Structure 1
Amino acid sequence: MEFWPEFLASSWGREFVAGGFGGTAGVMAGYPLDTVRIRQQNSTGGGAAAYQILRRVVATEGPFALYRGMAAPIASVTFQNAIAFQTYAILSRAFGTNATSSNDPPSYKGVALGGFGTGAIQTLLLCPVELIKIRLQLQTKPITTNQSYGSGGGTTTHKGPLDVARSIFRSEGLRGIYRGLGITVLRDAPAHAVYFWTYEYTRESLHPGCRKNGQESFRTMLLAGGLAGVASWICCYPLDVVKTRIQGRSDLYTGIVDCFRRSVREEGYNVLWRGLGTAVMRAFIVNGAIFTAYETALRCIVPNNKDDF
């Protein structure tokens, strides 16, 4: 009976719950566009436009196909975001040498370094989740033609995330579950540095003093979060394309360099930016939702005193 009051009274508890709210809001807001992005990135040839993929998926597989694989990120999102936000809070203050007291916000240098470390650490959880998600997103029904709108032509179907995980374990072992870990670290570490720095800088620019008093508007949260997501995706997008291809088709590429060389040789450098428009649109929606839900939840669960429970 005493667990939840004590848990929510601690910074770890508040960050955990608020991070869960933020992550869940982000996944639900942007998952259909994420499915379209993954299929664009993994398509061969010239690639299809986002609206063409969207129409074909809905027409041939139904609208729920856009949410295929969502159980994996939803199941892990609370823990993942708890780690991300709490790790960022700790590291940004540790590196934020300009902070003179516990009430001062960390310096922008501390924000960037804290974000870099956060991105690197969270990949240990994120890599297997994204691998399973991508395999499900690229999956098509056996009754369709062999052209699978970006799945590499495969028609193998799985019943859900656990079925995918068991299949990978049987064929590739633990190493297979962490396929793409290196490229995920290369993508997420610098991207999170840009992500958190852009968010903190933008919110302070739009609402001076809010980093210290925490009193910004919903418009500030939405805009700052959205722009942070856009900036982080633009800076890492070519790496994300390579990651999607490595994790989507384990039989085609031997590693990061091989995937990069073959993709560019066969389809040109434009392949590294395929699906960027979809990713940017999704990033603005998702990260606006994440930071708004996170900041709102964090304020709502901060108790004035223990008697409030």
Structure 2
Amino acid sequence: MIACQHRSAREIISDAGAGAAAGAIAATFVCPLDVIKTRLQVHGLPEVPQSGRRGSIIVTSLQNIVRTEGLKGLYRGLSPTLAALLPNWAVYFTVYGHLKSVLHSHVDSSGQLTFGANMIAAAGAGAATSIATNPLWVVKTRLQTQGMRPGVVPYKGIFSALKRIAHEEGIRGLYSGLLPSLAGVSHVAIQFPTYERIKSYLAKRDNTTPSELSPGKLAIASSLSKIVASVMTYPHEVVRSRLQEQGQVRNAEIHYAGVIDCIKKIYLREGLPGFYRGCATNLLRTTPAAVITFTSYEMIHRLLNRVLPPDEKHSETHPKPDGHVKPNKVSKAGGEDDDNNLPQSQNPSNERTLIPFGKTDRLRAGH
């Protein structure tokens, strides 16, 4: 039996810092596609020339935005996106890592967390981040779509939007779309375990460990897991976007009373294709975003683990970020350690000395 798990400050800082940095890099890179995706979800398809192919929708949308709003229009909502993503990924990866450590006893024969345990950890982290950052996602959606509402007084920025929404619509306005966002937890509950499994498969095929996979292999794992999760859970994003956006419009022809009413009206007016508005654009946006986010996270996480000083007080066994349970290289003297994978030697004073693989120096227990 593995001892109770406690995460060190070093691990928490590493998870939070890597997650926030990776999210910011990805969000900035794909922001124009995010703006188009949100507008397609809310307002449907733009007018495309008869000779144009369906693939030209993205190009047409980009041209329309640049022509009517300038280049600035392509980056509408970037500030609240970054403001939401920094705490979003920081909280997510931190909570995800913590829940994996709590669920450390649910491991398979290879020492990796089971698919079910990974799903629980991913879902719990997703729920926590959805509740914490929902107001910022509402602002992001409103800012991205307000250029298409000429009769609406525009928001000046993040804080003015938050104040106006709170004043005009109350707490309910700030948390509009929260229910489908929580339903969207199913997305990460599918994506993260799938990502871990693909990493494990690639590592086993290459006779290495998930924590040592190359950036190219991480890109493959992250892209495949994102595509699977996106296709399976995309409809909730359409419902969420429409509920979040409608509070900006007064006397709208189509008003949704709630999640169920929104689902019914979308189905009656647009059929099943209505639930996949902007899905192709979303995949073009989220797939590279997932590759950037996960690969950046893994690389930054490894870098921070090398740069940050080790926490000597944190000496208990804990699961690694790749989902494998592995003992620390430093342990408390006299403590019980799961060090079956480390060769041991006895010194004259009967103190146990652990010799990590690949290291020539010896780390004396308790030092």
Q: Is the 8 A contact 2:130 2:178 kept in 1?
A: yes
1:61 corresponds to 2:58? no
1:90 deviates by 2.1
Which residue of 1 is the match for residue 304 of structure 2?
301
Superposition deviation, residue 210 in structure 1? 8.2
Read off the aligned partner of 1:174 and give its amino acid letter. Answer: I
Deviation at 1:203, TM superposition (A): 1.7
Which residue is 2:177 aligned to?
Answer: 180
**Which of 103, 110, 118 in structure 2 is aligned with 1:95?**
103
Query: Following the alignment from structure 1 to structure 2, what is the Cα–Cα distance between the partners of residues 105 and 155?
Result: 53
Q: 1:268 aligns with which of 264, 267, 271?
A: 271
Residue number in structure 1 paired with 2:190:
194
- Partner residue, 1:247: 244
8 Å contact from structure 1 (residues 93, 106) kept in 2: no
What does residue 79 of structure 2 align with?
71
The alignment yields a C-alpha RMSD, in angstroms, of 2.6
Q: What is the rounded CA distance, in whole Å, between the counterparts of 2:199 and 2:267 in structure 1?
A: 38
Equivalent position SS for 1:139: helix
State the alpha-carbon separation in 2 of the partners of residues 177 and 91 from structure 1.
Answer: 28
Equivalent of 1:161, from 144, 148, 158? Answer: 158
One-letter amino acid of the structure 2 residue matched with residue 38 of structure 1: T
2:350 is matched with none
Distance 1:275 1:154, change over 3 A: farther
Deviations 1:73-128 (A, max 9, x none): 21232222121112111223433544389x94322221122111111121112311
Say whether residues 1:35 and 2:70 are aligned partners. Answer: no
Query: For residue 287 of structure 1, what is the aligned residue in structure 2?
Result: 290
Local SS of the residue matching 1:299 = helix
Shift of 1:10: 1.4
Provide Cα deviations, 1:6-26, integer angstroms capped at 9, x if missing partner: xx9611111111111111112
Aligned length: 289
- Per mean C-alpha deviation after superposition, the further-off stretch among 277-286 and 120-129 is 120-129
Match of residue 123 from structure 1: 130
Q: Is the 8 A contact 1:104 1:212 kept in 2?
A: no
* 1:109 maps onto 2:116 in alignment: yes
Alpha-carbon spacing, 1:82–1:45, altered in 2? closer, same or farther (3 Å): closer
- Aligned AA for 2:65? V
TM-superposed CA distance for 1:268, in Å, is 2.2
Amino acid at match of 1:255: G
**Structure 1: runs of 5+ lacking an equivalent:** 1-7, 141-147
Q: Which position in structure 2 is the counterpart of 1:226? A: 223
Consecutive unaligned residues of structure 2, counting only runs of 5 or more, are 1-7, 49-56, 311-367
Please say which of residues 32-41 and 161-170 is displaced more in the overlay: 161-170
Structure 2 counterpart of 1:235, from 229, 232, 237:
232
The 2-side partners of 1:88 and 1:306 are apart by 22
Judged with a 3 Å threshold, the aligned counterparts in structure 2 of structure 1 residues 58 and 212 are, in CA distance, closer, same or farther, namely same
> 2 CA distance for matches of 1:264 and 1:122?
29
Mapped partners of 1:287, 1:278: distance in 2: 14
Q: Which residue of 2 aligns with 1:3?
A: none
Give the CA deviation at 1:63: 1.8
Deviation at 1:44, TM superposition (A): 4.5
Q: Which has the higher contact order (CA 8 A, sep 6+)?
A: 1
CA distance in 2 between partners of 1:113 and 1:259 (Å): 28
- For residues 138-186 of structure 1, the C-alpha deviation after alignment (integer angstroms, 9 at most, x for no partner) is 011xxxxxxx3xx6x7543111111211110110112211111111101
Closer, same or farther: CA 45–67 of 1 in aligned 2, 3 Å: closer
Give the fraction of aligned pairs with identical amino acids, expressed as a percent: 26
Contact 1:73 1:130 in 2 (8 A): yes
Amino acid at match of 1:133: K
Task: Report the TM-score, using the length of structure 2 for normalisation.
Answer: 0.73
For residues 100 and 198 of structure 1, what CA distance do their matches in structure 2 show?
A: 16
Structure 1 runs (4+) deviating above 6 angstroms are 45-48
Tell me the residue number matched to 1:134.
141
Partner of 1:216: 213
Pick closer, same or farther for the CA change 1:243–1:213 going to 2, 3 Å. Answer: closer
CA pair 259-112 structure 1, distance change in 2 beyond 3 A: same
SS, match of residue 157 in structure 1: coil
Give distance in 2, aligned partners of 1:126 and 1:211: 37
Q: Which amino acid aligns with 1:124?
A: I
TM-score, normalised to structure 1's length?
A: 0.85
Q: Find the residue that maps to 2:305 and give its secondary structure.
A: coil
Q: How far apart in 2 are the matches of 1:263 and 1:242?
A: 8
The structure-2 alpha-carbon separation of the partners of 1:64 and 1:266, relative to structure 1 and needing over 3 Å to count, comes to same
SS of the residue 2:113 aligns to? coil
